[in-house]
């Protein structure tokens, strides 16, 4: 038993000897703490009576008979129930003071004290198995008003200096509340789970001049899962993430080390790639999982939402419109609309993934995934000469791995992704009078990353970790096989290399402080002019 | 969009046929108890719904503790079996409710807990591997097991 454990044990047992304070005379948070102490004491006494715990603890009272203890327990339970009732009544409005309490609400079970112990930091569970499930707090502040409802969150903020390509590469300082996302989950039954992500980008949106906002409030995920059997579960039609690569579905800032999301997910995989879709998923065997999704197809239309016509077509011949797929932004503007029956085609895409984490290779996880749409050409698509554009399919493959080498600090990640266009002559970028943004038959990208995990010891009661890393990414968004009415004069801006070097410091697995230097190189004679030196704060809980 | 119906109708039909029949509960408490202590003749409940002493012929084989932690948002039900010396014999996931992170059920991952005591670090990336894609679940289960060891892992007499 370490000194710390001993101290924890003492803290637990000594609470059993507290005088019976009158909780109603205490301020509310204190009362909650008292309640939890009482519960902890009661439970530990119960354990003590059954299993004669903690022989080395001097404060235990082995001479008290079991019967006497049980009677005491019963009395305490009754008293606790009365107090709980009173608390509930008085907590009609959420206690503001609870915000000052760092731990989640007083755990009501036998581990209340252990849960509060700094080393275990296990305040993540409400611990009364007899109670209804999931009384998780909302944002760690108050009890969930609805059993089964929980609210998580993630977010990331960037700041620092970056080169602005629109200003000839001038270094400019800035700040971006990039995203803040609320994650409501509701366990309707054990088998039916509701899940959503409500996202505010760039600090949200506003319309008055003094708001200075140009962000979004959007639904990034919205679905109901039917958990059927381990091998087969169904996600009812909703807004969901295309199951390709790793970061698209696991895009919380604690999942990657750079300030900005990995480059392959910034266009080639149009992350956050969210679509109207429905999927089935499950576990095939230990270490092998699958997901298959049908969804609205991506569309080769990258212009303003309002420029769709009432007939759900692109603007008529004679009116130019922006491509959804182009040689500079890859697929970045091609995601299907999520609302209002405003899709520009009837095409349905199919995507799927296989996740592997073999037992014989601990620390290794990887996936292969693919996406296929028979047609990305929107209704009424045309070139700038007035000719209609025919179909073009989109096929994508991705393979990636993450390997945390056991018993060492090393971690390696690698990924390869490619997009194949069925008929590039029908892509709008090849018919939009812009000779520089043309697209060939394929696009591809690859990245390799090495990171090293360095424990920093215990600071502020949590174990910190620093993760210095380096990632190299190469992308070619303008390969050969170009066809279309445009003159083909790519500048080389679609042939990119990225060097990312930096460090991510995790004060807890749920918080990350990041610093990253990014060097961007392309083959444009004018240069990429997009280097950056950014700091970031991210969280996910 | 008629295409939608074409694609989702079979799945919907399948769900409506099978959904009520199964729960995604991998093990009940008695099943997990039997798995942890196959030779036990009885389990004496020492704490309602939470802790049981496994016994065989008057001899105590160990303690079985049921608990839950939150994975990402929802509860993970798990159980820890301890030998009389407070050493972990087995950890099982009884019920996992969320859509992501179910890898904590993998036998090879759970096997890492076997033999741990309250003196073990029980920390992700120290003596327990992180699971890529199940970061929160793996952290929280590890914290939960550690908590059980802190509360019960001092050995039985």
The tens digit of pLDDT for each residue in A39-86 reads 444 444 444 333 333 333 333 444 456 676 677 777 777 777 777 767
- Residue A117, pLDDT above cutoff 60: no
- Residue A520, pLDDT above cutoff 90: yes
What is the maximum alpha-carbon separation in chain A?
97
Confidence of residue B8 (pLDDT cuts 50, 70, 90): low
* Inter-chain touch A122–B26, beta carbons under 8 Å: no
Whole-model pTM over 0.95:
no
* Inter-chain touch A2–B119, beta carbons under 8 Å: yes
The tens digit of pLDDT for each residue in A371-400 reads 999 999 999 999 999 899 999 999 999 999
Q: Which residue of A has its CA nearest to B111?
A: A359
Q: What is the DSSP letter of A136?
A: P
The tens digit of pLDDT for each residue in B79-118 reads 999 999 999 999 999 998 888 888 899 888 999 999 999 9
Q: What residue segments make up the domains of chain B, in order of their start?
A: 20-99+129-152
Q: Is the peptide bond before A272 cis (omega within 30 degrees of 0)?
A: yes
Confidence of residue A144 (pLDDT cuts 50, 70, 90): low
Q: Which of B81, B46, B65 is nearest to A50 (CA)?
A: B46
* Inter-chain touch B74–A193, beta carbons under 8 Å: yes
Element (H, E) at A112: helix A112-116
Instruction: Average the pLDDT over A394-415 and give the result.
Output: 96
- Residue B22, pLDDT above cutoff 60: no
The tens digit of pLDDT for each residue in A264-323 reads 999 999 999 999 999 999 999 989 999 999 999 999 999 999 999 999 999 999 999 999
Question: What is the three-class DSSP state of A496?
Answer: strand
| pLDDT the model gives residue A88 | 64
Best B76, B151, B155, B156 member to test A by mutation, with max A CBs in 10 Å, is: B151
Q: Which of A41, A174, A291, A2 is nearest to B122 (CA)?
A: A2
* Inter-chain touch A134–B74, beta carbons under 8 Å: yes
Write down the mean pLDDT value for chain B. Answer: 85
Of B12, B106, B123, the CB nearest to A287: B106
Output Rg (C-alpha) for chain A, integer angstroms: 28
| pLDDT the model gives residue B97 | 86
Q: Which of A102-111, A217-226, A527-536, B36-45 is the least confident region?
A: A102-111
Instruction: Average the pLDDT over A155-161 and give the result.
Output: 97
Question: What is the three-class DSSP state of B17?
Answer: helix
CB contacts, 8 Å: B148 with chain A: 111
| pLDDT the model gives residue B21 | 39
CB contacts, 8 Å: B116 with chain A: none
Distance CA(A69)–CA(A60), nearest Å, equals: 12
| pLDDT the model gives residue A235 | 97
In angstroms, the separation between the Cα of residue B115 and the nearest Cα of chain A is 15
* Inter-chain touch A228–B100, beta carbons under 8 Å: no
CB contacts, 8 Å: A278 with chain B: 4, 7-8, 11
Of A232, A359, A463, the CB nearest to B108: A359
CB contacts, 8 Å: A137 with chain B: none
| pLDDT the model gives residue A534 | 98
In angstroms, the separation between the Cα of residue A296 and the nearest Cα of chain B is 9
Decide: A277 and A338 in contact? Cβ < 8 Å: no
Q: What percent of chain A has pLDDT over 70?
A: 76
CB contacts, 8 Å: B156 with chain A: 51-52
Decide: A289 and A281 in contact? Cβ < 8 Å: yes
What is the full DSSP assignment across B54-122?
EEETTEEEEEEEEEEEESSSSEEEEEEEE-TTS-EEEEEEEEE-SSS-GGGG-HHHHGGGTT--TTS--
Of A120, A190, A195, the CB nearest to B143: A120
More confident residue, A94 or A13: A94
Element (H, E) at A476: strand A462-476
Q: Which of A151, A153, A219, A202 is nearest to A540 (CA)?
A: A153
Strand-pairing partners, residue A534, are A160, A516
Q: Within the 76-95 window of chain B, which residues sit less than 8 Å (CB to CB) from chain A?
A: 95
Tokens in use for B101? 């992170």
Instruction: Let me know how long chain A is.
Output: 541
Handedness of CA B138, B141, B144, B149 (dihedral sign): negative
- Residue B11, pLDDT above cutoff 80: no
For A235-253, give one letter per residue: b (16+ CB within 10 A) or e: bbbbbbbbbbbbbbbbbbb
Half-sphere exposure of A127 (CA within 13 A, CB side): 29
| pLDDT the model gives residue A90 | 61
Strand-pairing partners, residue A171, are A163
Q: Which of A81-90, A394-403, A517-526, B135-144 is the least confident region?
A: A81-90
The tens digit of pLDDT for each residue in A9-20 reads 333 333 333 333
CB contacts, 8 Å: B26 with chain A: 230
Instruction: Average the pLDDT over A424-439 and give the result.
Output: 96
Of B23, B105, B132, the CB nearest to A190: B23
In angstroms, the separation between the Cα of residue A406 and the nearest Cα of chain B is 7
Q: Which of A461, A503, A377 is nearest to A117 (CA)?
A: A461
* Inter-chain touch B98–A365, beta carbons under 8 Å: no
CB contacts, 8 Å: B1 with chain A: 296, 343, 346
In angstroms, the separation between the Cα of residue B35 and the nearest Cα of chain A is 18
Of A117, A129, A348, the CB nearest to B66: A129
CB atoms within 10 A of CB A194: 17
Q: Is B17 part of the contact surface with chain A (CB cutoff 8 Å)?
A: no
Q: Interface pTM (ipTM) of the complex?
A: 0.72
CB contacts, 8 Å: A8 with chain B: 150
* Inter-chain touch B150–A362, beta carbons under 8 Å: no
Best B10, B47, B83, B100 member to test A by mutation, with max A CBs in 10 Å, is: B47
The tens digit of pLDDT for each residue in A339-366 reads 889 999 999 999 999 999 998 999 999 9
Confidence of residue A4 (pLDDT cuts 50, 70, 90): very low
Of B22, B49, B147, the CB nearest to A229: B22
- Residue A335, pLDDT above cutoff 80: yes
* Inter-chain touch A237–B48, beta carbons under 8 Å: no
Q: Is B131 part of the contact surface with chain A (CB cutoff 8 Å)?
A: yes
Instruction: Average the pLDDT over A484-501 and give the result.
Output: 95
Question: What is the three-class DSSP state of A283?
Answer: strand
- Residue A338, pLDDT above cutoff 90: yes
In angstroms, the separation between the Cα of residue A5 and the nearest Cα of chain B is 7
Of B126, B130, B140, the CB nearest to A124: B140
The tens digit of pLDDT for each residue in A228-263 reads 998 999 999 999 999 999 999 999 999 999 999 999
| pLDDT the model gives residue A456 | 95
Q: Is B55 part of the contact surface with chain A (CB cutoff 8 Å)?
A: no
């Amino acid at each position: 038993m370490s000194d710390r454990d001993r101290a924890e044990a003492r803290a637990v047992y000594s609470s059993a000897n507290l005088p019976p304070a009158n909780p109603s005379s205490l301020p509310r948070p204190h009362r909650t703490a008292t309640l939890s102490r009482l519960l902890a004491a009661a439970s530990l006494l119960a354990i003590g009576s059954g299993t004669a715990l903690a022989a080395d603890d001097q404060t235990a009272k082995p001479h008290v008979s079991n019967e006497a203890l049980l009677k005491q327990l019963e009395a305490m339970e009754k008293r606790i129930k009365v107090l709980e009732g009173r608390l509930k009544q008085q907590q009609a409005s959420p206690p503001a003071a609870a915000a000052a309490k760092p731990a989640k609400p007083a755990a009501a079970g036998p581990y209340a004290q252990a849960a509060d112990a700094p080393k275990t930091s296990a305040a993540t569970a409400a611990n009364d198995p007899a109670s209804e499930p999931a009384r998780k707090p909302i944002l760690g502040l108050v009890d969930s008003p609805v059993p089964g409802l929980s609210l998580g969150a993630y977010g990331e903020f960037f700041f620092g200096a970056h080169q602005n390509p629109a200003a000839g590469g001038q270094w400019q300082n800035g700040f971006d509340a990039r995203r803040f996302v609320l994650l409501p989950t509701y366990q309707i039954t054990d088998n039916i789970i509701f899940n959503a992500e409500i996202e505010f980008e760039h600090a949200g949106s506003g319309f008055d001049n003094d708001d200075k906002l140009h962000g979004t409030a959007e639904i990034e995920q919205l679905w109901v899962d039917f958990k059927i059997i381990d091998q087969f579960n169904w996600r009812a039609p909703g807004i969901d993430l295309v199951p390709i690569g790793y970061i698209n579905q696991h895009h919380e800032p604690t999942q990657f080390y750079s300030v900005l999301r990995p480059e392959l997910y910034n266009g080639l995989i149009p992350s956050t790639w969210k679509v109207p879709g429905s999927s089935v998923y499950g576990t095939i065997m230990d270490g092998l999982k699958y997901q298959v999704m049908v969804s609205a197809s991506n569309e080769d239309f990258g212009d303003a939402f309002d420029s769709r016509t009432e007939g759900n077509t692109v603007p008529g011949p004679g009116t130019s419109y922006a491509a959804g797929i182009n040689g500079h932004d890859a697929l970045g503007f091609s995601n299907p609309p999520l609302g209002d029956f405003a899709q520009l085609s009837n095409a349905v895409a199919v995507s799927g993934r296989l996740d592997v984490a073999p037992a014989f290779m601990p620390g290794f996880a990887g996936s292969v995934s693919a996406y296929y749409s028979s047609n990305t050409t929107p209704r009424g698509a045309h070139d700038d000469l007035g000719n209609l554009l025919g179909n073009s399919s989109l096929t994508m493959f991705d393979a990636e791995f993450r390997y945390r080498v056991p018993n060492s600090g090393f971690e390696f990640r690698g990924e390869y992704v490619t997009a194949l266009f069925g008929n590039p002559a029908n892509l709008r970028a090849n018919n939009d009078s812009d000779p520089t943004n043309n697209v060939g038959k394929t696009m591809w990208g690859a990245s390799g990353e090495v990171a090293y995990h360095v424990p920093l010891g215990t600071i502020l009661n949590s174990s910190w970790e620093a993760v210095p890393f380096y990632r190299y990414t190469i992308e070619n968004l303008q390969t050969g096989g170009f066809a279309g009415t445009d003159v083909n004069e790519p500048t080389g801006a679609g042939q990119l290399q990225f060097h990312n070097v930096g460090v991510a410091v995790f004060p807890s697995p749920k918080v990350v402080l990041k610093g990253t230097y990014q060097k961007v190189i392309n083959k444009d004679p004018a240069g990429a002019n997009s280097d950056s030196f950014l700091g970031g704060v991210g969280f996910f809980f | 969009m008629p295409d939608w119906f074409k694609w989702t109708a079979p799945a919907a039909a399948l769900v409506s046929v099978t959904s009520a029949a199964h729960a995604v509960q991998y093990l009940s408490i008695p099943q997990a108890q039997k798995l942890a202590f196959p030779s036990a003749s009885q389990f004496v409940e020492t704490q309602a719904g939470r802790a049981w002493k496994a016994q065989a012929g008057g001899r105590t084989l160990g303690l079985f503790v049921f608990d839950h932690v939150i994975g990402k948002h929802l509860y993970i039900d798990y159980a820890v079996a301890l030998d009389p010396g407070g050493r972990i014999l087995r950890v099982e996931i009884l019920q996992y409710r969320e859509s992501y992170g179910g890898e904590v059920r993998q036998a090879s991952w759970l096997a890492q807990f076997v033999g741990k005591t309250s003196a073990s670090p029980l920390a992700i990336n120290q003596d327990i591997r992180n699971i890529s894609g199940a970061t929160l679940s793996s952290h929280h289960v590890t914290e939960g097991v550690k908590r059980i060891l802190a509360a019960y892992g001092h050995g039985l007499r």
